[in-house]
Chain A
Amino acid sequence: MEFSADLLINAIVAGLLLGGFYAAVTVGVSIAFGILDIVNIAHPAFIILGSYIAYIVNSRLGIDPIAVSIVMLPVFYALGSAIYQVYYVSFEKRGQEALRGLAFFFGLLFVTEVMLILVFGVDYRYVEARYIGPSLHIGFVDFPLRMLVPCIVALLLFLGLELFLSRTFIGRAINAVAQDQLALRLMAADPIRIKRIAFGISIATCAIAGALLIIIQPVEPSVGREYIGRVFAICVLGGLGSLPGTLIAALLLGVVESLTSTFYGPSWAPAVAFGFLLITLAVRPAGLLGR
């Protein structure tokens, strides 16, 4: 393909928009894996679940997918809390997170995906909203609203979570639970409850990320699998538990993926995340902004 400046700039802008969206997809994993040390590989499956809920409500009632996802937040929060409770009783308490806990989440990922296939089939589903389609043009740079709106919502979500984690008592307790559970107990906070809240929040972000996903691209049940590598690559690259690091890593991955698919073809894009992951693990396992 011929190399040109506006193609390059457009690819970078598209990558940044995509990266913003990736940040929303990853922030839940960043909390669960980075802070709580729960390797929830089923996270993308819950995102797809969020997409399908947005799809159902949007196609039946015509409500905006983002509005749907905000209404669904408590439901996903409750789902997350319930899953954490099972996880805690069955694995964390018995010290079996490493093997069986992982297998548990893998099973959840799998069951969710197959259920969606059984109910909806493997057809691609999409939503309708006014901002899907038109683009903003500034000079020769395109800002498709389909990408811009999710990116803005994602950044707002990100900002909100960062403020919550650094300013509120519960947010600080969530940060503390990874560091010193005993100290947390002395502050009269129950570590299990704090972890349950945090995991609930982590799953709740899936509602929003799912709605954003189905705005960006049509969704079928196995789309989630592509995101497993991505979210963990971003999470590790950013540095475990560091939200700003996650944001930087997400933008970086978005740009590199966008450049790859512009100049080498979209079928190579999924390999980028893995390359990122391996390089990070080999060179700097602590990530960009890791502790």
Chain B
Amino acid sequence: MRMPLFTVIALGVAAVVYLAGKLFAIDYLFFAGYTVLHFVVLATAWNILGGYCGYVNFGSAGFFALGAYTTVFFHKAYPLPIPALIVLAGIVAGLVGLGTGYLTLRLRGVYFAIATLALAIVLQTLVINWNYVGGSRGAYVIRPQTAPIIGSYIEYLFLLMLLLTVLAVVVARAIERSQLGFGFATIRDDEIAAEALGVPTLRLKLIATTISGGLMGMAGAPFPYYIGYLEPSSAFGLAYAVNAIAMPMIGGTTSWIGPLVGAILLGTLQQVASVTISSAVNLLIVGILLVAFVIIAPNGLVGLVQEFLRAATPERMTWRSLGVLSVAGYGIVAGMFGVVFSLSAIAAARPALGVLALVVSVLLIASAYGLLKLQSWGLLLANASFALSIVLGVIELWFVGGVGAGIMHGGAVAIAVAAIVLLQDAGVKSLYRVPPGERRATS
């Protein structure tokens, strides 16, 4: 797909998202949506350096805060409209990225990672000691009640972040398919060989750090207006550092889809978790997912799907593989949300049901992994865990009142039944009959 066409489609999707939000007309949706979207921008930005070049940036929180504090500074010094602030924040953060990169990227990659880790702490120290932007007390940024044309201010912020997301994704995709992207890939795969072949590695790495840092800063620029009161510990929060890494890693680092998928999935999950449980627990979930994914599925969700398609359908996509794929996808998404919901049930008054739901959720995730890896135990486990989830859904329907919960549990039971029926198909079963060793040998 060519670049202009992709941009138009991305803008179209963004418009649909915005109109869908407008349809519900709940401010909270825009509030939550903004959070998810700024994680999409952060994850995409991180991936330009981390995923494409293979250089890890631990200081995402620092770059993000740099953008946020640029806004605070100009809010006091010379008020500007937010789009202008976004551009300025991008420039500031990009320059800091360039500087850090210039000092450390000529050495081994790990020095860059360590330097970024320390950079976030130093920037925080600077901000704490800089009274003009609020110091350790923090700064109030009073948000106007209304925005021009759009009306509600949170809607305006959401729209800005949506456009920024489109920009980030389009830039990431453009890089991926350009000569620049191929240059990045050579650095990731074998930097010494690339250098020997005349790839200007240092210059490419500096371009990557600048773009990546700049985008992170841009993601941070509207943030003070979003939360209204910015203090160093929230701008430099651990959540940004870990999510910027975890989201691409869990989604998949080799293409622009990975960070997008990872950020939407994890971002939404965390929104739900911080409402139903606590923000510490949701960070714990992210941390555990990160460790689990880098060990078990090093190429992330996108990698799992690609491997599955390559192994299951060598020639063309069949409805069977598509079916298994959607069952597995459902298993992963439902399992992850199931974990959050069951933890909140355990925290609330229903521990027994919560523990059962937790077991089923974890089994669902495991079986989805097995299904995607074409393991015969995956098929068995999938049958078992979907059967269990039917039982659980029926119990929940029995005990829990309310239309919303009824629709949710009823839907879950219906999907589980459909999944089990699909998994009984002879063609699907045959996918799992060949021992994995032989399949690898033939393909």
Contact = CB atoms under 8 A, between A and B. Distances in A.
Contact of B114 (A39, A111, A267): A39
B417 interface: no
A110 B121 CA distance: 16
Given A115-B284, A118-B281, A281-B107, A108 B56 contact: no
A86 B253 CA distance: 22
Interface residues of A, number: 44
Interface stretch (B159-167, B242-250, B403-411): B242-250
Interface string B276-311: 000011011011101100110010000000000000
A226 B104 contact: no
Interface string A85-129: 010001100101011101110111011011101100000000000
A171 interface: no
Contacts of B249: 100, 103
A103 B294 contact: yes
Interface residues of B, number: 42
A118 B283 CA distance: 11
B58 A106 contact: yes
A111 B58 contact: no
B125 A267 contact: yes
Interface of A: 39, 41, 86, 90-91, 94, 96, 98-100, 102-104, 106-108, 110-111, 113-115, 117-118, 222, 225-226, 228-229, 232-233, 236, 265, 267-268, 270-271, 273-275, 277-278, 281-282, 285
Nearest to A227: B121
Nearest to B249: A103
Contact of A98 (B109, B114, B122): B109
Nearest to A282: B103
A106 B242 contact: yes
A111 to B, nearest CB: 4
Contacts of B115: 274, 277-278, 281
Given A39-B110, A107-B294, A270 B284 contact: no
16 contacts: A41-B58, A90-B294, A96-B298, A103-B249, A106-B58, A107-B288, A111-B288, A114-B280, A114-B287, A226-B121, A228-B114, A228-B117, A229-B122, A233-B118, A275-B122, A281-B107
A235 B255 CA distance: 35
Contacts of B8: none
Contacts of A226: 121
A270 B129 CA distance: 12
Interface of B: 50, 54, 56, 58, 103-104, 107, 109-111, 113-115, 117-119, 121-122, 124-126, 128-129, 136, 238, 242, 245-246, 249, 253, 280-281, 283-284, 286-288, 290-291, 294-295, 298
B280 A118 contact: yes
Given A104-B294, A267-B125, A110 B242 contact: yes
A111 B117 contact: no
Contacts of B107: 281, 285
Contact of B246 (A39, A107, A278, A281): A107
**Chief secondary structure at chain A's binding surface:** helix
A149 B249 CA distance: 44
B284 A267 contact: no
B294 A229 contact: no
Given A281-B104, A281-B115, A107 B291 contact: yes
B111 A281 contact: yes
Contacts of A274: 115, 118-119, 121-122
A94 B126 CA distance: 40
B103 A278 contact: yes
A108 B291 contact: yes
Interface centre among A107, A115, A232, A233 (most CB of B within 10 A): A107
Contacts of A265: 129
A71 to B, nearest CB: 28
Contacts of A222: 238
A165 to B, nearest CB: 22
A-B CB proximity, top 7 nearest: A229-B118, A107-B291, A107-B290, A111-B287, A110-B287, A274-B122, A274-B118
Given A110-B238, A267-B128, A225 B121 contact: yes
A41 B116 CA distance: 12
B291 A111 contact: yes
Nearest to A228: B117
Contact of A273 (B50, B118, B284): B118
Given A41-B114, A106-B242, A114-B280, 4 more contacts: A90-B295, A228-B118, A229-B121, A267-B136
Contacts of B121: 225-226, 228-229, 270-271, 274
Given A117-B280, A268-B129, A99 B117 contact: no
A154 to B, nearest CB: 22
Contacts of B291: 104, 107-108, 111
B261 to A, nearest CB: 17
Contacts of A115: 284
Contacts of A104: 291, 294-295
A114 B245 contact: no
